[in-house]
Amino acid sequence: MNENRKDLFKHAKRIVVKIGSGVLTLNHGLNTGVITSISDQINHLRQDSVEVVIISSGAIATGVKKIGLERRPDGIPARQAASAVGQAGLILEWEHAFSRYDARVAQLLLTREDLSHRRRYLNARNTLNQLLDWKIIPIINENDTVVFEEIKLGDNDNLAAMITLLMDADILINLTDIDGLYDKDPRVHEDARLLSSVSTITEEMEEAAGGIPGNLGTGGMLSKVTAAKKLTRAGIPMIIAGGLNDGIITDLVQGKDKGTFFIPVNKRMNSRKCWIAFNLKPEGAIVLDHGAQDAVIHRGKSILPIGVTDVIGDFSMGAPVDIQSIEGNHLGRGLVNYPSSEIRKIMGLKSDKIRQVLGSKPFDDVIHRDNLAVTCLCDKDSEQCPHHYHPQSRNL
């Protein structure tokens, strides 16, 4: 029994459970046995007053089988059409499973675009909160039929992470067709070892996870590790575990040492900062000198023009941008008070020079700390942050 996990679940009030295609489907279609068993376990949680949000994959895999295709098609329209066929049966099966307890379900189909517009994001949150207030179980999938490259999340692991942040849930349980993250791809290496807990996601782990999914999945282990990286940096834990193992959710909630537990590396970030950090697509970047980097990471300060050494890309006022160190490490993301053309003119200057250069000074700072989400791996209470220049800070 793992005390950390046990303690976490003892206090958990809201849990997101994501279930992958390989768990929900069998050769001939939906795996109704697993859906029944998972709904039993989730129903127990609800009886203990835990709110549960489900992210259910499996529409494409189900559609492929219903249509009678030999395998998952490569073409995008074919996948989208297969998803449209499969989604109806998928939600019906969940509805059927939960109806045994007189519990109702709701279907939400979302895209990245929905979650990157502040108002739509807040609407989705309000809807989800209302459903939970009504004790209805939200079941979410990506809206596959309307997404195209620019607006798609692409995998439900990252959708699940975003919903966990949006709902300020206590943990994401990610159920897949393997019992956790291994130190090597177990399909290739017989001696691969299951990792019981992960406190730092290393480049080796990302490489070991690779991007190749199982026969029915989309994201593979890598998209689960990327999702864990986002959540743990926002201060929320995640578990990857085997969804085909009997009673897995119950075991996890009891604190049993199953699956891979990803331990948060930062303090819990507020929901608006999570939205800035993980839901917005950066339109450019600003580069900070070491002094500004330190002020932002360790002292929670705003970014002043004097600490900016470079501006990458062209963007307008209010745009989301990445914050980078001189070494090129990703430190976080923020919303700018000035367009790129003006930041280029004022960078390196004291704030009292802004009016002289631009003719007016609407703001002292280039990014106000309320609009700045720091996600680099660091101990914000420490004077000497060991992770300042760590390459893992890249690619969030």
Ligand X SMILES: N[C@@H](CCC(=O)OP(=O)(O)O)C(=O)O
| Binds 214: which of ligand X, ligand ADP, none (CB < 5-8 Å by kind) | ligand ADP
Nearest distance in Å: CB 25, ligand X: 9
- DSSP-assigned letter for residue 302: P
Q: Is 223 labelled as part of a ligand binding site?
A: yes
User: How many beta carbons lie within 10 A of that of residue 384, not counting itself?
Assistant: 7
| Binds 60: which of ligand X, ligand ADP, none (CB < 5-8 Å by kind) | ligand X
Nearest distance in Å: CB 318, ligand ADP: 35
The answer to whether residue 22 forms part of the interface with ligand ADP (CB under 6 A) is yes
Q: Is 221 labelled as part of a ligand binding site?
A: yes
Residue ranges of alpha helices (H) inside the chain are 3-11, 21-24, 32-47, 59-67, 76-99, 112-116, 118-133, 156-166, 203-209, 220-233, 248-253, 271-278, 290-299, 340-346, 354-358
Residue number with CB closer to ligand ADP (21 or 293): 21
Q: How far apart are CA 354 and CA 369, in angstroms?
A: 19
Q: Is 218 labelled as part of a ligand binding site?
A: yes
Nearest distance in Å: CB 28, ligand ADP: 18
The answer to whether residue 304 forms part of the interface with ligand ADP (CB under 6 A) is no
Nearest distance in Å: CB 360, ligand X: 48
| Binds 310: which of ligand ADP, ligand X, none (CB < 5-8 Å by kind) | none
Q: Contact at 8 Å (CB) between 39 and 46?
A: no
Q: Which of 221, 292, 347, 367 binds ligand ADP (CB under 6 A)?
A: 221
Give the binding site for ligand X (CB under 6 A).
20-21, 57-61, 83, 141-142, 144, 155-156, 213, 217-219
The span of 74-82, 108-116, 212-220, 326-334 binding ligand ADP (CB under 6 A) equals: 212-220
Query: According to CB under 6 A, which residues from 35 to 74 bind ligand ADP?
Result: 57
- DSSP-assigned letter for residue 140: E
Residue 158 identity (one-letter amino acid): N
- Rounded alpha-carbon distances, angstroms, from residue 382 to 103, 385, 388: 48, 6, 11
Q: How far apart are CA 216 and CA 220, in angstroms?
A: 10
Residue 371 identity (one-letter amino acid): N
Q: Which of 97, 124, 139, 208 binds ligand ADP (CB under 6 A)?
A: 208
Q: Is 316 labelled as part of a ligand binding site?
A: no
**Binding-site string for ligand ADP from residue 168 to residue 187, where x marks contact by CB under 6 A and - marks none:** --------xxx--xx-xxxx
Q: Is 224 labelled as part of a ligand binding site?
A: yes
| Binds 52: which of ligand X, ligand ADP, none (CB < 5-8 Å by kind) | none
Residues in the chain: 396
Nearest distance in Å: CB 154, ligand X: 7
Instruction: Pick the closest to residue 187 from 208, 216, 204 (CA basis).
Output: 208
Q: Which residue is nearest to ligand ADP, using beta carbons?
A: 20
Q: How far apart are CA 372 and CA 351, in angstroms?
A: 18
Q: Is 371 labelled as part of a ligand binding site?
A: no
The two three-digit tokens of residue 362, written as one number: 């609407």
Instruction: Pick the closest to residue 206 from 177, 234, 226, 179 (CA basis).
Output: 226
Q: How far apart are CA 274 and CA 166, in angstroms?
A: 8
Bind-site residues for substrate: 57, 144, 156
Bind-site residues: 18, 57, 144, 156, 176-177, 218-224
Residues near ligand ADP, by CB under 6 A: 20-22, 57, 176-178, 181-182, 184-187, 208-210, 213-214, 216-221
